[in-house]
């Protein structure tokens, strides 16, 4: 069976590589930990002029969801086209290169094998988990990665700069150092330089920005965009965990959010997060400007995404790693010459497993047989096209969320459930899972739960030795 797979895959590569020279370029922009706080999505206080202009020039997906609300599993799923429940990559420490064999190539690996020039800098995969042979040039920066552990120290300490403070190990601080010294600025500069060059073959240019990932420290001018007294805090419900199964209560980790509020730094943290979004938006703007001035302007696909969202107290939770809307929903914007039209807005629920097959579809390349997602090309051409697939998100072993335009259904490994009517209850404040009148809705949504989501399968995959 493996020989047949490899032979078929080899034929795909040969057929695609022969016609690679006439393929469009791809500008692939990744943002870390950014929830859907953007101007184009309706946020009243986010300042994202560059994301907004990109959205106006293409199609913005307002219901785009991660496969897993944590950096490594999310990126591994998006870039390999395989769900976390299939690979067993469910922590930041899991190595996707071990779980996913080379004959099931990642997105850059597949494009590289088909004749694309693959160029990257910054955070694309999590940490140093890349296959160097898949890249013609890849520059990892020195940014500190968040470890896959809970921060136990929630004490408040003075920061190193005026107006800054430290909670746990994370700086929340306006910086007075030059913007050019920051790694995200350097990543944008790498992209700008590559866009200014003439390349002998189509390129896949990946630029991965760290902010708004912690620590929230960017130049002071971005903090100044958000006077503290102007910050509007999220609308919260005092007893929001009261109707959740115990698995949901445990996932919320309410103590972390309580510590932020008790330290009196809730508003400052929201401000710092917004400042980091504005900083990253400026770096995206530098890439867009460079593309507009380049010879590649009319033959370059843009795909911009964030790996997952972030809670700022909703469901009494701080950070990511949940199955609710705030952690699973993230920006996704496409601009595709000859396919998208300016000002497109798609409200269909999609997840990031669709990105890999979409890029294959748009470039006319055959789809690798291992992909588990569905191409989004029909929605790029017509954002209101019929779409009968939900978005699927996973957290830990066997816990999943199914998101349709109306419903979010969460099913935990031991049988606990949550159900939210997103039309009537966009805050997800009322769990309807125990209401008999919704039994048919749950049964219908449950059909989409990943069939291979078993703890045993995940553990078996983790035991594989790195080649």
Per CATH, which fold does 21-144+174-383 belong to?
A: Alkaline Phosphatase, subunit A (3.40.720)
pLDDT score, position 144: 57
Q: Does residue 1 have a pLDDT over 50?
A: no
Q: Calculate mean pLDDT across residues 392-402.
A: 96
DSSP for 313-375 reads: SGGG-EES-SSSHHHHB--EEEE-TTT--TTEEE-S-EEGGGHHHHHHHHTTPPPPTT--S--
Q: Calculate mean pLDDT across residues 337-346.
A: 98
Q: Are 379 and 385 in contact (CB under 8 A)?
A: yes
Q: Calculate mean pLDDT across residues 25-32.
A: 98
- Render pLDDT for 37-49 as a digit per residue (tens, 0 to 9): 999 999 999 999 9
Name the band, by pLDDT with cuts 50, 70 and 90, for residue 458: very low
Annotation says 71 is catalytic: yes
The H-assigned helical ranges of 47-182 are 49-57, 71-80, 84-87, 96-99, 107-113
pTM higher than 0.75 = yes
- Render pLDDT for 265-300 as a digit per residue (tens, 0 to 9): 999 999 999 999 999 999 999 999 999 999 999 999
pLDDT score, position 163: 82
Annotation says 269 is catalytic: no
User: What CA–CA distance (Å, rounded) separates 29 from 46?
Assistant: 19
Q: Where are the domains of the chain?
A: 21-144+174-383
Q: Calculate mean pLDDT across residues 223-246.
A: 97
Q: Calculate mean pLDDT across residues 439-459.
A: 78
Q: Which of 112, 126, 213, 311 is catalytic?
A: 126
pLDDT score, position 454: 46
Name the band, by pLDDT with cuts 50, 70 and 90, for residue 148: very low
Other CB atoms within a 10 A radius of the CB of residue 383 amount to 21
- Render pLDDT for 429-440 as a digit per residue (tens, 0 to 9): 999 999 999 999
The H-assigned helical ranges of 89-231 are 96-99, 107-113, 183-195, 220-223
Q: Which of 71, 269, 303, 346 is catalytic?
A: 71
The residue assigned the tokens 């989409």 is 448
């Amino acid at each position: 069976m493996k020989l047949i797979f490899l032979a078929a895959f080899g034929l795909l590569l040969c057929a695609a590589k022969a016609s690679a020279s006439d393929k469009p370029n791809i500008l692939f922009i990744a943002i870390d930990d950014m929830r859907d706080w953007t101007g184009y999505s309706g946020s009243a206080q986010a300042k994202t002029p560059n994301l907004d202009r990109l959205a106006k020039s293409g199609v913005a997906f307002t219901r785009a969801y991660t496969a897993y609300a944590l950096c490594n599993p999310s990126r591994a799923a998006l870039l390999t086209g395989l769900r976390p429940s299939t690979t067993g990559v469910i922590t930041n420490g899991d190595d996707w290169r071990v779980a996913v064999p080379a004959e099931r190539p990642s997105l850059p690996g597949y494009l590289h094998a088909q004749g694309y020039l693959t160029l990257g800098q910054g955070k694309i995969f999590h940490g140093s988990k890349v296959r160097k042979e898949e890249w013609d040039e890849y520059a990892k920066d020195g940014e500190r990665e968040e470890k896959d552990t809970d921060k136990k120290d929630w004490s408040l300490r003075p920061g190193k700069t005026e107006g800054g403070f430290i909670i746990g190990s994370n700086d929340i601080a306006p910086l007075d150092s030059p913007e050019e010294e920051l790694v995200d600025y350097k990543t944008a500069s790498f992209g700008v330089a590559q866009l200014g060059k003439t390349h002998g073959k189509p390129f896949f240019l990946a630029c991965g920005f760290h902010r708004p990932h912690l620590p929230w420290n960017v130049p002071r001018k971005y903090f100044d965009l958000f006077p503290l007294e102007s910050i509007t805090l999220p609308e919260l419900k005092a007893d929001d965990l009261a109707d959740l199964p115990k698995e949901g209560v445990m996932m919320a980790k309410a103590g972390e959010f309580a510590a932020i509020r008790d330290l009196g730094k809730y508003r400052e943290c929201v401000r710092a997060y917004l400042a980091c979004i504005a900083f990253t938006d400026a770096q995206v703007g530098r890439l867009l400007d460079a593309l507009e001035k380049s010879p590649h302007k009319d033959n370059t696909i843009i795909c911009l995404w964030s790996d997952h969202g972030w809670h700022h107290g909703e469901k009494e939770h701080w950070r990511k790693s949940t199955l609710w809307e705030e952690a699973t929903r993230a920006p996704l914007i496409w601009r595709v010459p000859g396919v998208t039209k300016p000002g497109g807005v798609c409200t269909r629920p999609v997840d990031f497993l669709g990105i890999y097959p979409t890029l294959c579809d748009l470039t006319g390349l055959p789809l690798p047989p291992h992909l588990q997602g569905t191409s989004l090309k029909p929605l790029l051409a017509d954002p209101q096209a019929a779409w009968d697939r939900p978005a699927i998100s996973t957290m830990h072993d066997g816990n999943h969320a199914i998101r349709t335009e109306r419903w979010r259904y969460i099913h935990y490994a031991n049988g606990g459930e949550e159900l939210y009517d997103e039309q009537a209850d966009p805050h997800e404040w009322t769990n309807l899972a125990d209401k008999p009148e919704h039994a048919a809705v749950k049964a219908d949504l449950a059909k989409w739960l990943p069939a291979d989501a078993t703890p045993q399968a995940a553990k078996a995959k983790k035991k594989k030795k790195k080649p």
